[in-house]
Amino acid sequence: MSRKKTAVDFEQSLADLQALVERLESGELSLEDSLGAFEQGVKLTRDCQQALTQAEQKVQQLLSQNGEATSVPFDEPADD
């Protein structure tokens, strides 16, 4: 998956999550619809958290190269 697609997915997931929260806070959903929205929100939250974790790992890889910002393939495990 490319970085651009990941960023777009994160932004879209975050926007979808915000929309779900607004719908839930409106109080206009039935209990069943609220549960479905909550379930979808949990999935979106996990997707966002995973994207943030991957970004943090990439930053750590870049910073851990003797203080120099050198590129390391992200898909390969870093040598410790």
Is the separation of the CB atoms in 63 and 69 below 8 Å?
yes
Rounded Cα–Cα distance for residues 33 and 42 (Å): 14
Q: Single out the residue of 19, 70, 57, 63 nearest to residue 41, CA to CA.
A: 19
pTM over 0.85: no
pLDDT at position 63 is 80
What is the distance of C-alpha 68 from the center of its chain?
Answer: 27
**Average pLDDT, stretch 31-45?**
95
CATH code of the region 3-63: 1.10.287.1040
Rounded Cα–Cα distance for residues 48 and 17 (Å): 9
**Average pLDDT, stretch 17-42?**
95
Domain coordinates in residue numbering, the chain:
3-63
Rounded Cα–Cα distance for residues 55 and 66 (Å): 19
